[in-house]
Amino acid sequence: MFPQPPTYFDRLREHLRLDDSVESDIVRELQSHVEDGVDRLVHEGVPEHDARARVIGRMGRPQTLAHLMRRAHLVTPWPEALAGATPMLLMAALIAGTLWQQPVIALAASVLVVAVTLFGLFQGRPTWFYPWAGVALTMPLVAGYIAFEVLREQIPALASGSASPTVVLGIAGAGLYFPVGLIVVVGAVLVAARRDWLDASVLLSPLPGVFAWIIAVHHAGGIRHANASMAGTSQLLGVAYVCMAFATIVVLRARSRTTKIATMVVVAVALVSLGTPLDSQAALLTVGLRAGLLGVFLLSPALVVHQSLER
Amino acid sequence: MTLTRYLTQLLKGNTDVLILSLLEREAMYGHQLMDELELASSGFFKISEGTLYPALHRLTRNGLICGKWAEIAPGKERKLYTVTPKGEQELAACRSTWGDFATAMGLVAGPATT
- For A227-265, how does the pLDDT look when each residue is reduced to its tens digit (9 = 90+)? 656 777 888 888 889 999 999 999 988 877 788 888 888
Per-residue pLDDT reduced to its tens digit, B18-64: 999 999 999 999 999 999 999 999 988 888 899 999 999 999 988 89
Domains along chain B with CATH numbers = 3-109 (1.10.10.10)
Inter-chain residue contact B54 with A71, CB threshold 8 Å = yes
Residue of B nearest to A33 (CA): B31
Q: How far is CA B114 from the centre of its chain?
A: 37
CB A67 within 8 A of CB B57: no
What is the C-alpha end-to-end distance of chain B, expressed in Å?
Answer: 28
Q: CA–CA separation, B86 vs A258, rounded Å?
A: 31
Residue B89 has pLDDT above 90, yes or no: yes
Q: How far is B56 from chain A (nearest CA, A)?
A: 9
CB B8 within 8 A of CB B1: no
- Across A149-158, A234-243, A276-285, the highest mean pLDDT is recorded for A234-243
In this complex, which of A26, A58, A72 lies closest to B58 when CB atoms are compared? A72
Supply the pLDDT for residue A311.
Answer: 47
Residues of A in contact with B50 (CB under 8 A): 59-60, 64-65, 68
Mean pLDDT of chain B, nearest integer: 89
A85 residue type, one letter: A
Higher pLDDT, A72 or B114: A72
Supply the pLDDT for residue A147.
Answer: 77
User: Which among B12, B16, B29, B31 is the top mutation candidate for probing chain A, defined by the most A β-carbons within 10 Å of its own β-carbon?
Assistant: B31
Q: How confident is the model at residue A280 (pLDDT cuts 50, 70, 90)?
A: low
Q: CA–CA separation, A127 vs A117, rounded Å?
A: 12
Q: What's the mean pLDDT in B104-111?
A: 85
Inter-chain residue contact B54 with A68, CB threshold 8 Å = yes
B99 touches chain A (CB under 8 A): no
Mean pLDDT of chain A, nearest integer: 83
Q: What's the mean pLDDT in A36-53?
A: 93
Residue A310 has pLDDT above 60, yes or no: no
Q: How would you write chain B as a 3-class SS string?
A: CCHHHHHHHHHHHHHHHHHHHHHHHCCECHHHHHHHHHHHCCCCCCCCHHHHHHHHHHHHHCCCEEEEEEEEECCEEEEEEEECHHHHHHHHHHHHHHHHHHHHHHHHHCCCCC
Higher pLDDT, A280 or A167: A167
Evaluate whether ipTM surpasses 0.90.
no
What backbone torsions phi and psi does residue B110 show, to the nearest 5 degrees? -70, 170
B77 touches chain A (CB under 8 A): yes
Inter-chain residue contact B53 with A60, CB threshold 8 Å = no
Supply the pLDDT for residue A188.
Answer: 87
Q: What's the mean pLDDT in A2-28?
A: 82
Supply the pLDDT for residue A168.
Answer: 75
The vertex-B82 CA angle with B76 and B85, nearest 5°, equals: 160
B54 touches chain A (CB under 8 A): yes
For chain A, give the percent of residues with pLDDT over 70: 90
The vertex-A198 CA angle with A196 and A199, nearest 5°, equals: 70
In this complex, which of A29, A58, A68 lies closest to B30 when CB atoms are compared? A29
- Across A7-16, A176-185, A209-218, B16-25, the highest mean pLDDT is recorded for B16-25
In this complex, which of A33, A37, A69 lies closest to B54 when CB atoms are compared? A69
Q: What's the mean pLDDT in A34-45?
A: 94
Q: How far is B103 from chain A (nearest CA, A)?
A: 32
Inter-chain residue contact A65 with B53, CB threshold 8 Å = yes
- Name the CA radius of gyration of chain A, rounded: 25
Q: Specify the range with the lowest mean pLDDT, choosing from A106-110, A149-153, B63-67, B73-77.
A: A149-153
User: Which among A27, A41, A68 is the top mutation candidate for probing chain B, defined by the most B β-carbons within 10 Å of its own β-carbon?
Assistant: A68
In this complex, which of A33, A58, A69 lies closest to B57 when CB atoms are compared? A69
Residue A309 has pLDDT above 60, yes or no: no
Inter-chain residue contact A32 with B29, CB threshold 8 Å = yes
Q: What are B76's strand-pairing partners?
A: B73
Q: What's the mean pLDDT in A197-201?
A: 86
> Helices A48-58 and A20-43 sit at what angle, rounded to 10 degrees?
130
Higher pLDDT, A70 or A123: A70
Supply the pLDDT for residue A175.
Answer: 74
Neighbours of A73 (CB within 10 A): 20
- Across A213-222, A252-261, B90-99, the highest mean pLDDT is recorded for B90-99
Domain boundaries, chain A: 8-71, 75-310
What backbone torsions phi and psi does residue A102 show, to the nearest 5 degrees? -100, 110
Supply the pLDDT for residue B84.
Answer: 93
A/B interface, count of CB pairs below 8 Å: 50
